[in-house]
């Protein structure tokens, strides 16, 4: 081994025992970042800390000399070799050819769905309480397992925006001692379709129109609503998407769901059925629609930046893994709900979610392509103790994920890519193929053999993975049909809508109205109103009013033979309103000017940092204002990056700007007026003290409005504003016609 490799052995991000990231504010002006660990010498570990024997995996710009890929030193990389300074370029210039050839092939096909994503490393620690139902060792008490989690909108392509209305992927790779376990879930617990054979249909309908390839990253168009109106098993998923869940505030504030029912196996072979849940420590929160639209223009990378900034600033997001456990009966139903139907939830009130471990994402990827782009998840990557069920959607996925990687990652050896390497020893008999990195020794990659001493040997029944649980397979003829229970498409969407608070219901009505309003075909809108009529009369009437169409008197005209909706008790756990949550990682803007009391601002910043928040000082110009460092200027900030606003001043407009606000009010910079008006409309807490109170008047914000805190002193204003932030929004402001 090279001496330098010995010297620099970076701690594996997120691996057990690695240090937590340094606490610092990413937005504070600072010296150039310290070299990242990959800018040292090549390391002998994969990004997740797995040992590798196949040479350097992490190579950065380091070392004294620029070289070719073959290690030959170069003197110039700016000029191609030419016959005279103004003459033709010579084919013999290897550096030119190698550089251009490599560049020409830098791109690989993006994922056919979930193309855009953001990911982080972390660690999962088991609570040990799942042992009675599952023998997977990573769930054992205090067992630490490195993880890599990728979040992703579904429809948009790699360069699309983050804050679109869409489902989000939530995929976690657990590098367990027993092999890799992938939990490839979504932030919505149900899916559009009940059978994998419909996946190409729903994706073709949701993706941009084939002629002009628009619209990008959204479902507000004819083909999507055409499909979901004719294929009403999608109604439940669509309802979640149209609710606030479709526009999450942050990946850190999303639930995750395994969607399908899985089968757990305990140490003595006993089985149970289970649904997996991820519960975010920060609660489940969403953007409001106008905010999401602004975000997509102001900061298309909003969710990606938010995740990376939170980790870098020392507020690593956490989720508890929870399970809903059901008896493994031959019917595979629970309280009348078909557990094999991926369009159905089991309300938490009927089967509580029991926490079994905690995931902390505490390290950002070093290289987006190597890690976030090349990671390959698969719902069939299972460890002993976790098995699949006959859910026809899951069964089809078991084929798709292996298959898609062949094209995306260029051959069958993608498990050898560093981010995909198991931490458990690998001893397969898979050989050769594109991008084979291993130098396999041995003469007999087959079994049985005598030439390699019979190696490798088989595992005992107690540790083998991919166990065939002796589940009964119903006898019958080969058929292309669904069970009768799959024909209930409307009971659960009705239950979901009726479980929401009035303000969430209003948002949902507006979302349907907007999306259907963007369709051109009248028949598509009318057909979907039929679907909504079956789900809930008020919902249907609200959307029909917005579209200017009649409320249909009949139920859906799509799928033939579907059942009428039944009434189920509402599930309060589905609403996002009404609870208090930690505020760590939230962003608070503090507007200052030369008249601001610096001592008070320093105290507010200390308090905010102490609570794990990110305070951003906002002023007319960068640098410093009376000794206070400025992180954002009036030109570089918009309300959408702030969760709350504190006003320590009423900054006047630049001399050449038009005045805003009422005559008689103090003059206020128009950009701050817009910032305040947006923050107010989006129900964000606003606090003001001293001269800051005048900014409220100038922006037309009533001092007495809910969630507006005004006092002489920052000491009294700040705690109140932070307490309001714990409820996510000032919900009272979001009712009525002016709501966003
Ligand atoms: Fe996926 N899905 N999916 N999916 N899916 C992919 O695999 C597929 C489904 C999910 O961050 C693809 O590697 C089929 C449900 C996530 O890399 C592909 C069906 C759920 C991700 C694929 C489904 C998911 C994917 C594209 C219907 C939630 C991103 C690239 C049977 C439980 C993973 C890739 C990442 C990605 C197929 C339905 C979640 C084509 C055929 C249900 C989070 O293989």
CA torsion through residues 110, 111, 116, 117, sign: negative
309: nearest Cα among 643, 617, 614: 614
Task: Give the DSSP letter string of 55-106.
Answer: S-----S-SS--B-TT--B-S-SSS--BSSTTSPBPTT-HHHHHHHHHHHT-
Structural domains present in the chain: 118-192+255-420 (2.40.180.10), 493-574 (1.20.1370.20), 587-656+663-733 (3.40.50.880)
Q: Which atom of ligand 1 is nearest to the CA of 404?
A: 44
Q: How far is the CA of 397 from the centre of ligand 1 (A)?
A: 7
114: nearest Cα among 518, 400, 519, 489: 400
From the list 95, 114, 303, 381, the catalytic residue is 114
User: Beta-strand (E) ranges in 127-252?
Assistant: 144-153, 168-176, 179-186
In the prediction, which pLDDT does 22 show? 44
Choose between 227 and 738: higher pLDDT. Answer: 227
Tell me the residue length of the chain. Answer: 740
Q: Which atom of ligand 1 is nearest to the CA of 259?
A: 32
- Kind and range of the H or E run holding 222: helix 222-230
Q: Is 249 helix (H, G, I), strand (E, B) or coil?
A: coil
pLDDT confidence tier of residue 476, bands split at 50, 70 and 90: confident
Taking residues 299-315, what's their average pLDDT? Answer: 94
In the prediction, which pLDDT does 452 show? 87
Residue 727 to residue 583: CA distance in whole angstroms: 9
Please report, for residues 39, 63, 231, the alpha-carbon distance to residue 6 in angstroms, rounded to integers and kept in the order given.
Answer: 15, 15, 60
Q: Is 688 helix (H, G, I), strand (E, B) or coil?
A: strand
Q: Is 641 helix (H, G, I), strand (E, B) or coil?
A: helix
Is the model's pLDDT at 334 over the cut of 90? Answer: yes
- Tracing tokens 């200027």 back to the chain, one arrives at 633
Residue with CA at minimum distance from ligand 1 atom 7 = 401
pLDDT confidence tier of residue 737, bands split at 50, 70 and 90: very low
pLDDT confidence tier of residue 320, bands split at 50, 70 and 90: very high
| Residues sharing a CB contact under 8 Å with residue 729, sequence separation 6 or more, in sequence order | 288, 682, 683, 684
Is the model's pLDDT at 3 over the cut of 90? Answer: no
Is the model's pLDDT at 347 over the cut of 70? Answer: yes
Is the model's pLDDT at 11 over the cut of 80? Answer: no
Choose between 424 and 462: higher pLDDT. Answer: 424
CB-CB contact of 182 with 145 (8 Å): no
pLDDT confidence tier of residue 57, bands split at 50, 70 and 90: very low
Share of the chain above pLDDT 90, in %: 81
Q: How far is the CA of 200 from the centre of ligand 1 (A)?
A: 12
Share of the chain above pLDDT 70, in %: 89
Is the model's pLDDT at 193 over the cut of 60? Answer: yes
Active site residue 186: yes
379: nearest Cα among 410, 405, 361: 405
Q: How far is CA 253 from the centre of its chain?
A: 9
Choose between 479 and 660: higher pLDDT. Answer: 479
Cis peptide before 456 (omega within 30 of 0): yes
In the prediction, which pLDDT does 499 show? 98
In the prediction, which pLDDT does 300 show? 97
- Kind and range of the H or E run holding 126: strand 118-126
Q: Is 503 helix (H, G, I), strand (E, B) or coil?
A: helix
In the prediction, which pLDDT does 194 show? 98
- Tracing tokens 């990376």 back to the chain, one arrives at 308
Taking residues 566-577, what's their average pLDDT? Answer: 96
Is the model's pLDDT at 58 over the cut of 90? Answer: no
In the prediction, which pLDDT does 21 show? 41
Backbone angles phi, psi at 190, to 5 degrees: -130, 165
Is the model's pLDDT at 37 over the cut of 80? Answer: no
Residue with CA at minimum distance from ligand 1 atom 23 = 397
From the list 186, 296, 364, 420, the catalytic residue is 186
Could you count the other beta carbons within 10 Å of the beta carbon of residue 132?
12
Q: Which atom of ligand 1 is nearest to the CA of 342?
A: 42
Contacts 24+ apart (CB under 8 A), 43-47: 43/5, 43/8, 43/9, 43/10, 44/1, 44/5, 44/9, 45/9, 45/10, 45/12, 46/418, 46/419, 46/421, 47/12, 47/13, 47/121, 47/148, 47/365, 47/366, 47/367, 47/370, 47/371, 47/418, 47/419
- Tracing tokens 């630049």 back to the chain, one arrives at 654
- DSSP symbol at 369: I
In the prediction, which pLDDT does 459 show? 85
Taking residues 187-212, what's their average pLDDT? Answer: 98
pLDDT confidence tier of residue 119, bands split at 50, 70 and 90: very high
**Average of per-residue pLDDT values in the chain:** 90
Residue 270 to residue 264: CA distance in whole angstroms: 8
What residues are in contact with ligand 1 under a 6 Å CB criterion?
111-114, 117, 150, 152, 169, 171, 184-186, 191, 196, 199, 259, 375-377, 393, 396-397, 400-401, 404
**Which of 263-277, 442-456, 463-477 is predicted with the least confidence, judged by mean pLDDT?**
463-477
């Amino acid at each position: 081994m090279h001496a330098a490799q010995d010297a620099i052995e970076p701690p594996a991000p997120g691996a057990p025992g690695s240090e937590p990231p340094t606490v610092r504010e990413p937005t504070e002006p600072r010296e150039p970042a310290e070299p990242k660990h990959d800018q040292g010498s090549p390391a002998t570990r994969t990004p997740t800390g797995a040992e590798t024997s196949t040479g350097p995996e992490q190579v950065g710009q380091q070392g004294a000399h620029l070289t070719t890929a073959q290690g030959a030193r170069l003197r110039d990389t700016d000029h191609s070799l030419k016959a005279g300074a103004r003459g033709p370029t010579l084919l013999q210039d290897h550096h030119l050819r190698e550089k251009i050839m490599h560049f020409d092939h830098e791109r690989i096909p993006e994922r056919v769905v979930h193309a855009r994503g953001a990911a982080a490393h972390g660690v999962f620690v088991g609570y040990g309480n799942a042992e009675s139902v599952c023998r997977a060792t990573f769930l054992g008490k205090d067992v630490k397992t490195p993880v890599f989690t990728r979040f992703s909108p579904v429809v948009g392509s790699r360069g699309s925006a983050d804050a679109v209305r869409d489902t989000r992927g939530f995929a976690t790779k657990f590098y367990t001692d027993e092999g890799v376990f992938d939990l490839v879930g979504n932030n919505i617990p149900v899916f559009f379709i009940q059978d994998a054979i419909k996946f190409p249909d729903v994706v073709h309908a949701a993706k941009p129109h084939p002629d002009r390839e628009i619209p990008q990253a959204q479902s507000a168009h004819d083909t999507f609503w055409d499909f979901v109106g004719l294929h009403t098993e999608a109604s439940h998923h669509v309802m979640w998407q149209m609710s606030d869940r479709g526009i999450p505030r942050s990946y850190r504030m999303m639930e995750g769901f395994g969607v399908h029912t899985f089968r757990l196996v305990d140490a003595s072979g006993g089985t149970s059925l289970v649904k997996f849940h991820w519960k975010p420590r920060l609660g489940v929160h969403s953007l409001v629609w106008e905010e999401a639209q602004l975000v997509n223009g102001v900061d298309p990378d909003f969710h990606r930046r938010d995740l990376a900034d939170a980790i870098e600033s020392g507020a690593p997001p956490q989720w508890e893994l929870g399970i809903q456990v059901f008896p493994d009966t031959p019917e595979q139903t629970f309280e009348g709900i078909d557990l094999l139907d991926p369009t159905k939830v089991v309300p938490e009130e009927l089967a509580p979610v029991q926490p079994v471990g905690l995931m902390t994402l505490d390290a950002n990827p070093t290289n987006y392509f190597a890690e976030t782009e090349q990671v390959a998840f698969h719902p069939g990557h299972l460890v002993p103790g976790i098995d699949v069920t006959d859910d026809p959607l899951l069964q089809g996925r078991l084929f798709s994920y292996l298959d898609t990687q062949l094209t995306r990652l260029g051959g069958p050896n993608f498990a050898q890519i560093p981010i995909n390497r198991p931490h458990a020893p690998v001893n397969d008999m898979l050989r050769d193929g594109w991008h084979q990195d291993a130098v396999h020794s041995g003469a007999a990659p087959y079994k049985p053999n005598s030439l390699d001493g019979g190696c490798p040997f088989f595992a005992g029944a107690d540790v083998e993975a991919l166990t065939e649980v002796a589940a009964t397979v119903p006898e019958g003829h080969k058929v292309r049909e669904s069970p009768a229970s799959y024909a209930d498409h409307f009971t659960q969407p009705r239950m979901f809508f009726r479980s929401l608070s009035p303000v969430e219901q209003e948002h949902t009505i507006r979302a349907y109205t907007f999306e259907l309003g963007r369709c051109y075909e009248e028949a598509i809108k009318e057909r979907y109103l039929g679907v909504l009529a079956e789900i809930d009369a008020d919902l249907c009437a609200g959307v029909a009013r917005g579209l200017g169409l009649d409320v249909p008197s009949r139920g859906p005209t799509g799928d033939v033979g579907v059942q009428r909706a039944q009434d189920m008790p509402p599930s309060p756990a589905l609403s996002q309103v009404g609870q208090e949550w930690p505020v760590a990682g939230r962003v608070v803007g503090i507007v200052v000017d030369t008249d601001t009391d610096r001592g008070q601002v320093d105290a507010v910043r200390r308090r905010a940092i102490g609570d794990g928040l990110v305070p951003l000082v906002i002023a007319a110009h960068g640098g410093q204002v009376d000794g206070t460092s400025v992180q954002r200027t009036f030109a570089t900030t918009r309300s959408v990056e702030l969760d709350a606003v504190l006003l320590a001043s009423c900054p006047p407009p630049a001399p050449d700007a038009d005045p805003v606000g009422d005559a008689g009010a103090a003059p206020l910079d128009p950009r701050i007026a817009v910032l305040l008006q947006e923050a107010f409309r989006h129900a964000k807490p606003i606090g003001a003290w001293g001269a800051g109170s005048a900014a409220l008047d100038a922006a037309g914000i009533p001092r007495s409005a809910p969630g507006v805190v005004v006092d002489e002193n920052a000491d009294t204003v700040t705690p109140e504003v932070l307490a309001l932030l714990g409820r996510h929004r000032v919900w009272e402001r979001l009712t009525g016609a002016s709501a966003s």
